[in-house]
Amino acid sequence: GCPVICSTKCGSKSYIVDETNGYIFNDSSFNSLYNHTLKLLDIKKLNHMKKECLNYAKINLSSEVFYSKFLKIIRQNN
């Protein structure tokens, strides 16, 4: 439930839905990082993003989802 700020060059950005469960800032721009950090000071937006983080994790990163995707890969390779 913790929104993140990630650069455009970070591989973890693939887990972020920009402005929903985190922010992706332009790697070569301090202003981009600064502006996205300021957005997290809006408590209503922050609380909404926390909920979105939990929803995203439940849908995409839970152990059940991992197991299901893992079985699918095994079955495709047999």
The 10s digit of each residue's pLDDT in 10-64 is 998 999 999 999 999 999 999 999 999 999 999 999 999 999 999 999 998 889 8
Residue 8: pLDDT band (50, 70, 90) is very high
CA distance 78 to 46: 45
CA distance 10 to 24: 9
Among 51, 59, 53, 70, residue whose Cα is nearest residue 5? 53
